[in-house]
Structure 1
């Protein structure tokens, strides 16, 4: 005889989607996963944990998921078999959702987005990152795997600009996550699918809105990357994201998207426009109660611009390592710093590092010189 928790509901599911999202928030989860044959799962402290609700049937998942899909989007999902969306629970949180088909059934994930934009000073970023918010032009990239906090970092940077500068900010997002109020700046947020057809289409027309700062939620294809580079080249400050692990990988990823005959031109554009790359990971804390961000930071210098222009990305990591006095740090330096401060365990630092030999060397140096890093 199966328990209430194990039984697959074939009739109406006992709770609605709002209750599942609220429960995820109350358990300090970051994501809610829905799929047939398992109970609702929440990602808590980086790990998937089943919530105390019954196993989901085909009908249950469909009813739960479709309850948050607006009528105009249902046809889009039927045609494309996947859909990005946003949803809000007043007084609780906003959510970024994605629905897809798997093995002929629906599956969905909802990422929790707090109502309040985080203060950049509490995120654990290198202090020099804030300087990028006061540039008049150029390209700034925030990179990392899914769920590494890229959107949070970008939102905090936009909020700093919004608070401290008098400029026109236009964002293009899929979907809109953090909601920005007008402060000293004007902020216009456009959602792909609702306010514009695509990132590329929005970027083509964004310059007509007299922007000073442009945020592109993700540079997804050749066209959107090319337009973002051109916008940065023509006197705008452009922020965007990529799913890459390190600054050198980011340069390679952008260049490799283009055909061979265009790559030299793209390298030249990157050398001229790239102002900074922030690569981050969320790492389990030493006490097991949460996660802390580890950040690699590269900013433009004459030497780094030359390396990009000449296709010497393999030398970038060394350049970052040797320019700590300019606020830069590699991912391995960031992990060693967190370990030295007792925020993460040594075995965790080794698990998330880029170069095991290099991080062990840094750790030995840190243990003999506690002032090796700045405090952040």
Structure 2
């Protein structure tokens, strides 16, 4: 007879395989609801009855170890990565690596009981061109030192863009790369680079302790999954200032807001000093969203700031409010606003006119460009 735990592991594997077969980005398991997947940004219910509260708990607990259960019951939430199952016929190949599939998992409690959100991680890392990212992004990543930030709301593809950057370096250069993640998402092959991937809570206690340690591990490139607090941001700036290329993310919506967020984390008496450090190390900021492709799937629309002398001066002089206009007129340096990015995607036939106007910030500007006014 099948053991109870094996029964529930099998159930969750079936749900995840179903999600992968449909090219879903996410799977949601919550009590009193049927399992739900997100495909191209839209939620779709998996056929079947709602999950009972007891079954939902058993399903989720079946993939947790003792330490994870203790953490969940103490902190009431849990982040980890999960590798499961074998590839089956009909499953999309981009999700399969050596017959295994990975997901980033967040377990939480709500008024109905326990729930979990699974972010399915494609095994094949997309190239920057496939995102699609303009050529300037690859140029920024090829810099030897400094800070590159990828920003945007949750679920906008920040991790995918960072993975594409690391994959580019791994294909082109021989570097020592250290990633600090919570949890580990994409797994890198290490073709030409020596890559160490460290997971918070598994391989290190915190971003801060992992960052301090990795500075003594001869890194050329440091990827920080997210700059969450003052100390992490401070260490990231120090790492960039001392000759490393640092890649990280923030939950900000545009490049000017990103500059302000980094500075505003620090006490008022330190902010002028931090502005100068940030201006010295910033290589580029990419603020992105995902928009529906005309032929299905989603594409990244990217607002891009490049750390030119003019941009650095605005940061030093606390004039971030002037950054948007400089980005808009800085196309010769590879800079672009979100609206300019959307216009390019439309002109390249990647998105529809309806999508362009749905996601743009300044409809008047977009209409002017399309009519030849700019």
- What TM-score, normalized to structure 1? 0.91
Question: What are the superposed Cα offsets for residues 91-131 of structure 1, whole Å, 9 maximum, x if unpaired?
Answer: 25210010111116111100011122222232210101111
Question: What are the superposed Cα offsets for residues 214-272 of structure 1, whole Å, 9 maximum, x if unpaired?
Answer: 00000011111111011101111000011111111111111121221111112111100
User: Can you give the 5+ residue segments of structure 1 that lack an aligned partner in the other structure?
Assistant: 1-11
- 2:229 is equivalent to residue 231 of structure 1: no
Match of 2:320 in 1: 313
Match of 1:335 in 2: 342
**SS of 1:135 mapped into structure 2:** coil
1:84 deviation in Å? 0.5
Stretches (4+) displaced over 6 A: 12-15
- Which residue of the other structure, out of 257, 277, 282, is the alignment partner of 2:290? 282
- Which residue of the other structure, out of 253, 265, 271, is the alignment partner of 1:263? 271
- Which residue of the other structure, out of 351, 356, 367, is the alignment partner of 2:363? 356
Match of 2:223 in 1: 215
- 2:76 is equivalent to residue 81 of structure 1: yes
- 2:61 is equivalent to residue 66 of structure 1: yes
Q: Is the 8 A contact 1:145 1:244 kept in 2?
A: yes
Cα distance in 2 for residues equivalent to 1:14 and 1:247 = 43
Match of 1:39 in 2: 34
- Which residue of the other structure, out of 102, 113, 124, is the alignment partner of 1:116? 124
Cα distance in 1 for residues equivalent to 2:325 and 2:54 = 55
Cα distance in 2 for residues equivalent to 1:101 and 1:308 = 42
Cα distance in 2 for residues equivalent to 1:94 and 1:13 = 18
- 2:255 is equivalent to residue 243 of structure 1: no
1:207 deviation in Å? 0.7
Alignment of 1:128-167 (within 5 A): 128-167=136-175
Greater shift, 334-343 or 261-270, is seen at 334-343
Cα distance in 1 for residues equivalent to 2:186 and 2:10 = 27
- Which residue of the other structure, out of 82, 102, 106, is the alignment partner of 2:110? 102
Q: Is the 8 A contact 2:9 2:59 kept in 1?
A: no
**SS of 1:270 mapped into structure 2:** helix
Cα distance in 2 for residues equivalent to 1:115 and 1:276 = 27
Cα distance in 1 for residues equivalent to 2:309 and 2:183 = 37
Counterparts in 2 of 1:193 and 1:360: CA distance versus 1, 3 Å: same
Alignment of 1:183-222 (within 5 A): 183-222=191-230
- Which residue of the other structure, out of 25, 41, 45, is the alignment partner of 1:30? 25
Cα distance in 2 for residues equivalent to 1:94 and 1:202 = 23
Cα distance in 1 for residues equivalent to 2:172 and 2:8 = 48
Q: Is the 8 A contact 1:170 1:188 kept in 2?
A: yes
Counterparts in 2 of 1:138 and 1:14: CA distance versus 1, 3 Å: closer
Match of 2:93 in 1: none
1:60 deviation in Å? 1.5
Number of residue pairs matched by the alignment:
355
Counterparts in 2 of 1:51 and 1:323: CA distance versus 1, 3 Å: same
Question: What are the superposed Cα offsets for residues 270-303 of structure 1, whole Å, 9 maximum, x if unpaired?
Answer: 100000011111101234x221211111111110
**SS of 2:275 mapped into structure 1:** helix
**SS of 1:55 mapped into structure 2:** coil
Cα distance in 1 for residues equivalent to 2:128 and 2:346 = 22
Question: What are the superposed Cα offsets for residues 3-58 of structure 1, whole Å, 9 maximum, x if unpaired?
Answer: xxxxxxxxx87961100000001111110011112110000111011001220111
Q: Is the 8 A contact 1:29 1:42 kept in 2?
A: yes
Cα distance in 2 for residues equivalent to 1:349 and 1:276 = 25
Cα distance in 2 for residues equivalent to 1:341 and 1:182 = 33
Cα distance in 1 for residues equivalent to 2:312 and 2:248 = 19
1:342 deviation in Å? 3.1
Match of 1:253 in 2: 261
Cα distance in 2 for residues equivalent to 1:361 and 1:253 = 32
**SS of 1:29 mapped into structure 2:** coil
Q: Is the 8 A contact 1:42 1:49 kept in 2?
A: yes
User: Can you give the 5+ residue segments of structure 2 that lack an aligned partner in the other structure?
Assistant: 1-6, 87-98
